[in-house]
Amino acid sequence: MKIGIFISGTGTNMAAICRNFFENRLTGVDEISFVLSDKKNAPGLEKAEKFGIKTIILPKKKDEAKEDYETRLLEAVSPFGTKLIVLAGFMKVLGTTFLSGYEGKIINIHPSLLPSFKGVDAQGQAFDYGVKVSGCTVHFVDETLDGGPIILQQPVFRQDDDTNETFKARILEQEHILLSRAISIVSCGNYSINGRYVLVGR
Ligand code: GAR
């Protein structure tokens, strides 16, 4: 299956996917067709170029309507014929204009155990709340914020001497593993959905 990756920032999740792909550890994926960033200076772009992957920079224009931006996004990615789009630190919430073109074909990594701590800085929200365990989630993307059916989750326990930064770093380490596992599951069609429940391995 051909996949595309959307990023907004550092792109460490994207780089982990690329590493797994080029080391033949990403079952079901034949090609990473592009890495798209909505931020011109996202450090992840350089990482993608080092892997030799085509990069696309597509920022939202000032005052541009969400629908118009998403139409441009669709136009930019549809020529690649990718069957799966992976949001790897893409910080825009996609609406129906984009989603209608890729229903059930977009997955996202979020740095908390959803449905807890949706939105930005989920790790900081969890840390400040004082949770003993948080983690990361890969889920299908629908029109709700961080709300689509969950594919995989990985708990990460907070240690007493964790700072916000160390907790975040240990969650990120697990994200790098979890996202590639989820990509392979979806690419191989190794799942079924029963209501909101994603049954892996059927
Ligand atoms: C990751 O922690 C990812 O889970 C998070 O942004 C970070 C991107 O890091 N995404 C979200 O918060 C989406 N709601 P990266 O650019 O180094 O992969």
Residue 23 sits in a domain whose CATH number is: 3.40.50.170
110 is catalytic: yes
- Residue nearest ligand 1's atom 1 by CA: 89
Report if residue 36 sits inside a domain: yes
Report if residue 131 sits inside a domain: no
Report if residue 128 sits inside a domain: no
Say how far apart CA 142 and CA 102 lie, in whole Å.
10
Report if residue 127 sits inside a domain: no
Asked if 84 and 187 touch (Cβ cutoff 8 Å), the reply is yes
- The rounded mean pLDDT for the chain is 97
Residue type for 111, please? P
Predicted pLDDT of residue 26: 97
Residue % of the chain over a pLDDT of 90:
99
Q: How far is the CA of 61 from the centre of ligand 1 (A)?
A: 22
Report if residue 40 sits inside a domain: yes
Angle formed at CA 91 by CA 82 and CA 110, multiple of 5 degrees: 85
pLDDT tens for 174-198 read 999 999 999 999 999 999 999 999 9
Q: How far is the CA of 198 from the centre of ligand 1 (A)?
A: 22
Predicted pLDDT of residue 43: 98
Asked if 142 and 148 touch (Cβ cutoff 8 Å), the reply is yes
Instruction: Among 8, 10, 12, 13, say which to mutate for ligand 1: greatest number of ligand atoms within 8 Å of CB.
Output: 13
Report if residue 52 sits inside a domain: yes
With 0-12 / 13-18 / 19 or more C-beta atoms within 10 angstroms meaning exposed / middle / buried, residue 201 is: exposed
> Is pLDDT at 172 greater than 80 in this prediction?
yes
Residues 110, 139, 168, 176: which is the catalytic one?
110
> Is pLDDT at 47 greater than 90 in this prediction?
yes
> Is pLDDT at 103 greater than 90 in this prediction?
no
With 0-12 / 13-18 / 19 or more C-beta atoms within 10 angstroms meaning exposed / middle / buried, residue 4 is: buried
Region 99-128 average pLDDT:
96
Say how far apart CA 30 and CA 56 lie, in whole Å.
20
Predicted pLDDT of residue 202: 65
Q: How far is the CA of 141 from the centre of ligand 1 (A)?
A: 15
> Is pLDDT at 73 greater than 90 in this prediction?
yes
pLDDT tens for 121-164 read 999 999 999 999 999 999 999 999 999 999 999 999 999 999 99
Ligand 1 pocket by Cβ (under 6 Å) = 7, 9-13, 44, 88-89, 109-111, 122, 172, 175
Report if residue 99 sits inside a domain: yes
**Host domain of residue 11:** 2-112+137-153+175-200
Place of tokens 């840390």: 127
Give the position, in ligand 1's atom list, of the atom nearest the Cα of 7: 16
- Residue nearest ligand 1's atom 14 by CA: 110
Report if residue 166 sits inside a domain: no
H-assigned helices in 154-197? 164-187
| SS3 assignment, position 166 | helix
Give the position, in ligand 1's atom list, of the atom nearest the Cα of 172: 2
Q: Which long-range contacts (CB under 8 A, 24 or more apart) does 124-132 make?
A: 124/164, 124/168, 126/167, 127/158, 127/162, 127/164, 127/167, 127/168, 128/164, 131/158, 132/157, 132/158
Region 63-85 average pLDDT:
97
| SS3 assignment, position 56 | strand
Give the position, in ligand 1's atom list, of the atom nearest the Cα of 88: 18
Predicted pLDDT of residue 113: 98
Counting the structural domains of the chain, the total is 1
Say how far apart CA 202 and CA 200 lie, in whole Å.
6
Helices (H) and strands (E) in the chain, counts: 6, 9
> Is pLDDT at 33 greater than 90 in this prediction?
yes
Name the pLDDT band for 101 (thresholds 50, 70, 90): confident
